[in-house]
Each structure stands twice: as structure tokens, then as C-alpha cells.
Amino acid sequence: MTRYIFKRVMSAIPLLFGLLTFTFFIIRLAPGDPVSLYVQGDVDPQLAENLRVQLGLNDPLPVQYVKWLKSMVTGEMGVSFSRHADVTDILADTIPNTLLLTVFALFFNFLIGIAIGITTALKRGTLADHTVNVISLFVYSMPEFWLGLMLILGVSLQLDLLPASGMHSPMARFLSTPAYIWDLVKHMILPVFVLGVASAAATGRYMRGSLLEVINQDYVRTARAKGLSEVLVIGKHALRNALIPIITLLGLSLPFLLGGAVIVETVFAWPGMGKLTVDAIFARDYPLIIACTLVSGVMVILGNLLADVLYAIVDPRIRYD
Amino acid sequence: MSPRILFVAVLCCGLLVSCGDKSGEKDPMSGAAVVALSGDADNFNPVVSSSATSGEIQGSIYPMMFDVYFDLQEGELKFDPGLVLRTERRNGGKDVVLHLRTDVRWQDGMLVTPEDIKFSYALYGDPEVASPRRNYVESMIFTDDKFDVDKSIEIIDDSTMVFHFAKQYPLQKFHLNLSPVPAHVYRNADRKTLRNNPANERPVGAGPFKLEEWVRQQQIELVRNPTCTLPRPSKLDRVIFRIISEPTTRLTELKKGTVDVMRPVYPDDVQDIQENNPDIRLETLPPRNYEYIGWMNIDIEAYHESGGKTIKPHPLFGDRRVRQALTYAINRKEIMEHELGPYGELAVTDFSPIFRWATKHDLIPYPYSPEKARQLLRSAGWSDTNGDGILDQGGKDFEFTLYYNIGNKRREYVATVVQKELKDVGIKVNLQSVEPVVLFDNINNKKYDAFIAGFQVKLAVDPSDRWGDVSNPFNTVGFQNERISELLKLGLHVPNIRDAGPFWKEVQSIIHQEQPCSFLYWVKEIVGVNRRLKSTNINILGVTDDMYEWEIGDPNSYMTY
């Protein structure tokens, strides 16, 4: 298994290199100029030209590419065009914010999704099954943007239960540690709900379908015939096999951990990777776009790898040696 | 532990924690105001910062050469003493002597000196720095096409310096008002990478506030600068700028009382606020931004193929009668009333009505008249010869694509109305929404035949911004007129601003006649302010102008989360 993981990681390096090279050329060939956002209003008409020289954008594309390659090899991610700060510093500031949001969102997504799936599968055809299905699909089918705004208007403005936006209260740094954490938790509830809980319905559907398929298998029937309790039959025999598709889903969801969620981050003013990436694209901030692509690329590769490893853990028939 | 008990336990802990932090200590929010902004700052160095947020905040951190305000009665900028106590003009107005205060200190205790000012102007004028405000030095002394700071700026003593200009012109004081930065902080900085200098994140200023904390994409916290003497420390302990890009969320925070000031409030939300939020007062800013439909005046294919040398009329919009017809064909008043209501003002030219002395008030806006439009198009040789409902000339239909920025609801509406109304006079308009970066790039590089855009005028009248040379990126429609070029030269060489009034009025008459664009409306921006905030002087210079005067009526009125 270790050798398998090592091989997979090694094969990912040329893949990432190809991805970044592709991104390098695609963003430079795309219409739009990084300096055009500066040339508005009362500014020096020569600003664009001076900035192009300063940012090295007047160099021929191959020269820019060689310079970029050199900096990548030395681990230099460059300086953001739009934020005028080291790209690594920007990522170091943003990634923890994103992880805080997405880890909890993913956790609740799977926790609630699996619970919904098991409940609806075991109570198939009952009123409870239909009710849970209708409610979860109702929430799931709401656009994130709309759901987020409705929660802000309802829970925050009308009921005044939770803050509407941001990660912290403006003066959070004056709070004691427990109060600071509580302040953070209050700010997280609405975005985590929109991001994680609302999409648990989809996970629930996967889980339901998978479990329904498994509980009709012979080995489950055998387990029941042996006289095992229903908890053991489902928990030990059925669930383990039913989880395989969920693991694929988990693996595919991993890039989201660092990719962030642009809509939720925008609505709730959460400074995460999703908004960072989109802002970088709109600003044609080449170094930042490349860095965000690198982060996403690494997460996609790791997600797939993790899913493959988890298959082997859950399903003893799968071996990579 | 059952889930129910666990939930109750967590809630109780939260309640205890949230109550516990307030005991015995002064709430840091009690002397604070919160302002919501749509975007973050890029840096806090006035030489290189470009974002509106940086511009808004820097004015409270850095020393200002003059205390500038816009006199709405007279319609012009006034320059009260700031770092500069008084000025004298010499040498026929080409030299301006500045008499400076000698008691102003940077927040690190060093004196603000004439060397700081000269050093700062050297940075502003250096092309390697690529300052957005480099044009402020363009009328000073240049040697071998380079800004010559030593010939332009002469330090006489600690309180006197002379600025030498190549000519006398009315905007000299405006161009003398660039914020200085401390030379002792930036002296050894690499000019090519000044934008990325770490010192830009820890500004050393001399204004009423100093930067306490900047959490990127979250908030910027200013605290009062107790050593400020220019003019004095702020009355508030702190002002927090929160970055909230989504307008509905920003408005919700204002309504909740967790934000004291936010802009812009959209006209659609005004009635709701007035009816349901008595704690919020709405302030309207005088019009400084206008929106227009640009018609390319020159043949852009020929222009670009010749590297900018060939200037010939655009095949569709090159004829003045066609441009006039287009303005007649669009019901601009109805568009404005639908989108802005009382917060709009019909635009006649690109001269803002705030410049009372320079505005030609007797120009009559083009009324909505499809009949007049058809008549003008006929006289320009456009008729529907093949009966397909679209005008044609020489076998070519009158058809073009109108570009506008994606996601801008107001411009989407304008585009749809224009498409419909021009169809009524026999013109086929294809609509194309474009991502803003691409749109601005293509507009500035004259790549579109027709587009919807906006423009913010600066606070000193300078029509050369828009109507200068065709190569100027802000002359987005490639408009050229010999008489306007003469008038620009005349108006920009008078000794006093108001002497240029007659020239600018003639410029407006020509623009009105020529219709290089169809000017739509001026936008009066609405700002929402919580009534607990007193002494706000929200004006055309910015929401945070004179922020040091802000006071809080009831210090306990901030709603803590």
C-alpha cells in the first residue's frame, strides 16, 4: 500500500506541472488585461503602460514562462497583482478560514446525509420516509444564494439570533478565548448550514439507494437468519458495504475543502478560497490564479488518492499490492 | 449524554461565555463606529494605492497639504490651510511658494518636513513607481522627458518651498494636494516594487487616525492618533471598516444596527428603509458619476490597422446626424425614472451640474422623439430599401452590437430598452454582456462600436480627461473636434479656475451638438447612516471626509453580537 501511495504521489507531479502550465497560458491568452482595472477615473493615462513594464507583462510569452518556471522551481509563488502581497502569505491567511468553514460543512453534510439515508432506507415507503425526502429535497433544491439571504433576513435580521456576516464580531480580539470561540461559532452556524446541512439531502439519497441495494443481498439475509439483532445486521454487515459509494463521494468532495464555496463566502462575507479564486480571476491576478489552481489541483489528486485508499480499508476485496 | 442534553449544555455554555466577557471592562465598541465597504484596500501608500477603499481611508491617516472641501454654492473646490498655511504665486504664476507648518509630526514622532514632500513628489513622478497619480506632476519641469524633481521643487527652509511649473494653469493647487509619505520610511525602498513594500501595510501617518489592524478581506481598524495636530485627533476612539461585498448583506447589517454607515443604498430600498428603519437616515451625494452609451466616432478597424494613424469616420456612427438621431430615439428620461427615480438627473453633457460656474444651464436635453430620429437618419442616407424593417445604406444594414458589463442590472435594463427603442426606428441592436475586466479593457482600447459605460468626473473641471487626443484611453469614443482642442488649450491656461468658464460652456455646446455619446443620467449616490452617529459630514469628497469630527450620540447603542 505504501508503495502504491508513493507511486501515485510521484505520478501527480507531472500532472500538476501540466495543469499549471496549461493555466499559465490559458489565463494569458484569455481576453482582459490585469492593468485595465487600474485605468479608470482620475488616473495617469500612461499608468497602464508603466504598470505593464513593472509587472513584466510586456515581455514575450516564452520569456514570461521561463521566468515563471524559475520562480516555481525555487518555490516562489510571486506577488499578487491585485493585493500587492506575497501569494504564499495570502494563501496562509485564507486557507485556515476556508478549512474552518468547509470541514464543518462537510462533516455535517455526511453525518446528516448518512443519517437521512439510513432512516429513509429502513423506513422505506412509510410516512417518515416521504416526509424526510420531501423536506430534504425542498431544502436542497433552494439555490445557495437565495437560501443564504433568506436565512440572513430571517434568522439574523428578524429574529436577531445570529450575526449576519463575517467571521468575527468587529472587536472579537478583545474577547476572552472561550468568548472568542463562541463568537466564531455563532458566525459559522448560518454559512455551515447553507453549505453542509442543505446539501446533506443529496448525500442522503446516495446513502439510501446504496443501503437499499445492500439490504437485499444474500449475506444480509444470512445475518438475519443467524438471529443477529437488526442493529448488528445494519451497522456491521450492511452499512460497511453501503458506504463504498459514499467514500467515492467523500473523495470527490475533498477539493471543496480548500476550493471553498464562492457563493456562500460572498453572501456571508466569509474570507475564503472560493471568493479569493474568483476575485483573482476577475482581476486577472495571474500569480494568485496559478496559486489557487495549484491548491485545487493538489486537493483533487489527494481526494482521489484518499478515496482509493479508503476503498481498500472498507472493502477487503480491494488490494493495491 | 443524550443529544438533547448536549445541545442544551452547549447553549448554556455559550450564554455564560457571551455574558462573561463584558464584566467590569469598558466595551471597546462604545467609542467606535462601523462602516461597511464593498471591497478591501490594496495598500496604504497613497503614492501607489489604486482601490477606492484605500483612497477613502488614507485621507484620515496621512497629512493633507490642504484641507479641501467642495463648495456646493459656488461649485468649486476650496483649499483651506492644512500642512500648507498659505501659498503665493510668483513668476507670472509659474512658481508657487508654499508656507508650511513646522509643528506637524508623523505618528512615530519625526517631524513632517519639506524633504518629505519633495521625496514624495519624486515617487509620484517616477515612471518606475507607476503611480496612478503621476499625471499630477506633468505640468512641472521635465528634463529629457523625465520629471525633474530638483528643478520642479525647491526647498528654501524648514517652512518654505517653491514648486516650479512649466506654465501657469488653474489646476495648480489641485496638483499640489498629493499626500506626502514619510521619507525616513521609504528612502531605501526599491521603487520598482514600491507597491509590494511591507511598509505599505503599516502606514506611518500624521492624520487624526492611525491604522491599528488590517485583516485582509475582513476588516480595517483605525484608532485615534493622539499626537495629531493636523487638524486634531479624532473624537471617536476607533472606526472599523468591514468588508462585505454582497449589497443585501451590507444593507442587513445597517438595518440590524451592527453597521453605522453603508453605501450605496439602492433607490429600490429607500422606501422600505424610510418606513421600517427610523434609526437610519439617508443622505444623498451630489452627482459625480454619469452613465452613457458610447458610439464609436472613428473607424476602429482603420484606426487599429494603421497603428492609430488613420482617423476616418465610423461607417455607422461617424455622421453627427446619426448620433443625434440615436439620442432622440432613446427615452432617456423614462430609463432614468425607472432606475433611479429622484436619485437621478438627466445628463446633457459630461459636465457635472455641481460645477455651477462652468455648466451651461441653457442647453435643452434632447427629448424622446422617434419621429425626429427617423427624419435625421433619412437625411443621413439611411432608409429601408428592401422592406425588412431594418434601415440600410449601400447594401449594408444598420446593425451593431451593444456591449455592457455582466451582472450590472441597471445597464442590463438600459440595454434592453435601447434595443427595443432603436428597433422602432429601424436599427437592429444585438446585445452582448461582457465580464467587466474585458469590457473596460476593450473600451479603453477602442475595440467596441457601441457600449454602455459610466464615468466619474474629478472634482476640478478638466474636460481634457475625456476629449483630449484620440489616443487618450478615456476618450473612449474616439471623438475629435478642432474647436474643442483649441478650447481645451485656452481653458487650461487661464490663471484662475473661473476664467475658463466661457471656454467650458462652449465645449458643452459643441458636445451637445455633436453627441459623441448619448449621455444618460447622473447618479446621486445614497448613503445610509445610523442616527446614533452625529456630526457626519458625508459629502462629495467621500463618506469618510472629516471622519475625525464624527461623534456617537449614545455610546451604548452599538448592538453587540
Domain assignment of residue A79, yes or no: no
B contacts of A170 (beta carbons < 8 Å): 29, 32, 34, 219, 221, 240, 242
Domain assignment of residue A321, yes or no: no
Helix (H, G, I), strand (E, B) or coil at B372: helix
The letter for the amino acid at B164 is H
pLDDT of res. A42: 65
Question: A residues 278-317 near B, CB within 8 Å?
Answer: 282-284
pLDDT of res. A43: 72
Task: Decide if B242 touches A, using CB distance below 8 A.
Answer: yes
Burial class (CB in 10 A: 0-12, 13-18, 19+), A22: exposed
CA distance A89 to chain B (A): 11
Contact A173/B201, CB-based, under 8 Å? no
Query: Does residue A207 share a domain with residue A66?
Result: no
Residue located via cell numbers 484620515: B60
Question: A residues 199-238 near B, CB within 8 Å?
Answer: none
Contact A43/B465, CB-based, under 8 Å? no
Q: What's chain A's length in residues?
A: 321
CA–CA separation, A207 vs A109, rounded Å? 12
pTM for the complete prediction? 0.89
Split into its structural domains, chain A has a count of 2
Domain assignment of residue A85, yes or no: no
pLDDT of res. B1: 43
Question: B residues 79-138 near A, CB within 8 Å?
Answer: 127-128, 130-135
Helix (H) or strand (E) holding B262: strand B261-265
Query: Does residue A132 share a domain with residue A188?
Result: yes
pLDDT of res. A300: 86
CA–CA separation, B516 vs B506, rounded Å? 15
Helix (H, G, I), strand (E, B) or coil at B434: strand
B contacts of A278 (beta carbons < 8 Å): none
Contact B417, B452 (CB under 8 A): no
Optimal mutation site among A38, A57, A84, interface B, most CBs of chain B within 10 A? A84
Would you place residue A246 in the very low, low, confident or very high pLDDT band (cuts 50, 70, 90)? confident
Helix (H, G, I), strand (E, B) or coil at B133: coil
A contacts of B252 (beta carbons < 8 Å): 152-153, 156-157, 164-165
pLDDT of res. B441: 87
The letter for the amino acid at A98 is T
pLDDT of res. A73: 86
Query: Does residue A234 share a domain with residue A118?
Result: yes
Query: Does residue A258 share a domain with residue A182?
Result: yes
Contact A31/B441, CB-based, under 8 Å? yes
CA–CA separation, A303 vs B10, rounded Å? 33
CA–CA separation, B218 vs B40, rounded Å? 8
Contact B528, B263 (CB under 8 A): yes
CA–CA separation, A218 vs B497, rounded Å? 94
pLDDT of res. B472: 79
pLDDT of res. B558: 57
CA–CA separation, B121 vs B127, rounded Å? 12
Cell of B462: 478638466
Contact A170, B242 (CB under 8 A): yes
Query: Does residue A142 share a domain with residue A42?
Result: no
pLDDT of res. A303: 83
The mean pLDDT value for A50-61 works out to: 88
Domain boundary among A73, A100, A132: A73
Residue located via cell numbers 472634482: B459
Query: Does residue A306 share a domain with residue A163?
Result: yes
Query: Does residue A167 share a domain with residue A43?
Result: no
* H helical segments located in B32-191: 52-61, 114-125, 149-152, 172-175, 183-186
- The residue in chain A having the minimum alpha-carbon distance to the alpha carbon of residue B248 is A149
pLDDT of res. A259: 75
Task: Decide if B276 touches A, using CB distance below 8 A.
Answer: no
A contacts of B28 (beta carbons < 8 Å): 171, 174
Query: Does residue A248 share a domain with residue A100?
Result: yes
The DSSP output letter for B168 is -
Query: Does residue A281 share a domain with residue A188?
Result: yes
pLDDT of res. A53: 86
Contact A36/B440, CB-based, under 8 Å? yes
Task: Decide if A158 touches B, using CB distance below 8 A.
Answer: no
- B89-93 long-range contacts (CB < 8 A, ≥24 apart) are B89/B168, B90/B162, B91/B164, B92/B168, B93/B165, B93/B168, B93/B172, B93/B495
Check residues B13 and A173 and name the one with the higher pLDDT.
A173
Query: Does residue A96 share a domain with residue A68?
Result: no
Would you place residue A231 in the very low, low, confident or very high pLDDT band (cuts 50, 70, 90)? confident
Cα torsion A211, A213, A214, A216: sign: positive
pLDDT in tens, A287-314: 999 999 999 899 888 888 888 888 777 7
Contact B196/A84, CB-based, under 8 Å? yes
B contacts of A176 (beta carbons < 8 Å): 17, 20-21
Would you place residue A40 in the very low, low, confident or very high pLDDT band (cuts 50, 70, 90)? low
Helix (H, G, I), strand (E, B) or coil at A31: coil
Return the number of CB contacts < 8 Å for A and B: 177
Contact B20, A183 (CB under 8 A): no
- Cite the beta strand spans of B386-498 per DSSP E: 392-393, 396-397, 399-405, 428-434, 450-456
Instruction: Determine phi and psi for B289, rounding to 5 degrees.
Output: -110, 135
Q: Percent of chain A beyond pLDDT 90?
A: 46
Helix (H) or strand (E) holding B12: helix B3-20
The mean pLDDT value for A249-277 works out to: 87
Residue located via cell numbers 422592406: B387
Domain assignment of residue A198, yes or no: yes
The mean pLDDT value for A259-274 works out to: 90
pLDDT of res. B23: 43
A contacts of B196 (beta carbons < 8 Å): 79, 84-86
How close are the terminal C-alpha atoms of chain B, in Å?
A: 30
Task: Decide if B407 touches A, using CB distance below 8 A.
Answer: no
CA distance A175 to chain B (A): 6
Optimal mutation site among A35, A42, A292, interface B, most CBs of chain B within 10 A? A42
- The answer on pLDDT for A39 being more than 80 is no
Q: Which domain holds residue A155?
A: 90-314
CA–CA separation, A269 vs A265, rounded Å? 5
CA–CA separation, A217 vs A211, rounded Å? 10
Cell of B407: 451582472
- The residue in chain B having the minimum alpha-carbon distance to the alpha carbon of residue A79 is B196
Task: Decide if A167 touches B, using CB distance below 8 A.
Answer: yes
Instruction: Determine phi and psi for A88, rounding to 5 degrees.
Output: -60, -40
Domain boundary among A25, A47, A73: A73
Domain assignment of residue A320, yes or no: no
Contact A45/B243, CB-based, under 8 Å? no
Contact B130/A185, CB-based, under 8 Å? no
Say which CATH number the domain at A228 has: 1.10.3720.10
Helix (H, G, I), strand (E, B) or coil at B87: strand
Residues of chain B predicted below pLDDT 50: 1-4, 6-8, 11-24, 561
pLDDT of res. B22: 43
- The residue in chain B having the minimum alpha-carbon distance to the alpha carbon of residue A83 is B42
Report ipTM (2 d.p.). Answer: 0.86
The mean pLDDT value for A248-256 works out to: 81
Task: Find, among B178, B232, B209, B198, the residue nearest to B61 by Cα.
Answer: B209
Residue located via cell numbers 455641481: B354
Contact A36/B217, CB-based, under 8 Å? no
Contact B359, B508 (CB under 8 A): yes
Contact B493, B169 (CB under 8 A): yes
- The residue in chain B having the minimum alpha-carbon distance to the alpha carbon of residue A165 is B249
Task: Decide if A108 touches B, using CB distance below 8 A.
Answer: no
Burial class (CB in 10 A: 0-12, 13-18, 19+), A62: exposed
Task: Find, among B320, B306, B305, B300, the residue nearest to B442 by Cα.
Answer: B300
- The residue in chain A having the minimum alpha-carbon distance to the alpha carbon of residue B255 is A157
Contact A54/B133, CB-based, under 8 Å? no
Q: Give whole-number Cα distances, A121 to A108, A129, A136, A163, B70, in Å.
A: 19, 8, 14, 37, 71
Q: Domains in chain B, please, with CATH?
A: 32-61+207-285+526-552 (3.40.190.10), 66-186 (3.90.76.10), 289-523 (3.10.105.10)
B contacts of A187 (beta carbons < 8 Å): 561
Cell of B557: 447603542
Domain boundary among A38, A73, A108: A73
Helix (H, G, I), strand (E, B) or coil at A178: helix
Instruction: Determine phi and psi for B383, rounding to 5 degrees.
Output: -145, 160
Query: Does residue A274 share a domain with residue A169?
Result: yes
Contact B253/A182, CB-based, under 8 Å? no
Task: Find, among B250, B266, B276, B237, the residue nearest to B38 by Cα.
Answer: B250
Instruction: Determine phi and psi for B211, rounding to 5 degrees.
Output: -75, 125
- The residue in chain A having the minimum alpha-carbon distance to the alpha carbon of residue B45 is A84
Query: Does residue A207 share a domain with residue A58?
Result: no
The mean pLDDT value for A254-270 works out to: 86
CA–CA separation, A155 vs A137, rounded Å? 21
Task: Find, among A33, A82, A89, the residue nearest to B50 by Cα.
Answer: A82
pLDDT of res. B555: 62
The mean pLDDT value for A262-273 works out to: 93
Task: Decide if A134 touches B, using CB distance below 8 A.
Answer: no
Question: B residues 447-486 near A, CB within 8 Å?
Answer: 455-456, 458, 465, 472-474
Domain assignment of residue A251, yes or no: yes
pLDDT of res. B26: 63
Domain assignment of residue A252, yes or no: yes
Optimal mutation site among A27, A35, A44, interface B, most CBs of chain B within 10 A? A44
Domain assignment of residue A187, yes or no: yes
Question: A residues 6-35 near B, CB within 8 Å?
Answer: 31-33
pLDDT of res. B8: 47
pLDDT in tens, A63-82: 999 999 998 888 888 999 99
Contact A47/B132, CB-based, under 8 Å? yes
Contact B267, B339 (CB under 8 A): yes
